Amino acid sequence: MRTNEISFRIRYSETDQMGVVYHGNYAQYLELARVEWLRSLGISYKSMEEGGIMLPVISLSINYLKPALYDDLITVKVILTKKPAVRIEFDYEITNESGELLATANTVLVFMDMKRKRPTKCPKILLDKLNY
């Protein structure tokens, strides 16, 4: 599965005084989508860390097109852009209940050996799940 979607409602605490989602919260929405994408493959981020691999973000880009508002039901679609190697790259589309595109984004993460604190190859278990 190279794509996955999650949906959730915007909470009041995520908005400013105008009821608009604070821009910094979008990075958390992207993380939530990535973690659930992994889980949909049968791999938890927690188990990866227990196995000595972490995934720090090395690049983040967000294009804000329309505001997400308090109590909106939004959907975050995460798309794996290419076969992971030492890096893994995702594109995202965030839409509201009406299907309006609110934001697009891109992240690049690197597989990191926690003991050596050095980049490492994508775990075989993930490549197997992706049929690469």
**CB contact at 8 A, 80 and 90:** yes
Say which residues have a Cβ less than 8 Å from residue 120's Cβ, sequence separation at least 6.
53, 86, 111, 112, 113
Q: Cβ(111)–Cβ(44) under 8 Å?
A: no
What is the enclosing helix (H) or strand (E) of 63? strand 57-64
> Contact, 111 vs 35, CB < 8 A?
no
Residues taking part in catalysis: 16
Where do we find the tokens 């090395």? 58
| 117 half-sphere exposure, CB direction, 13 A CA radius | 0
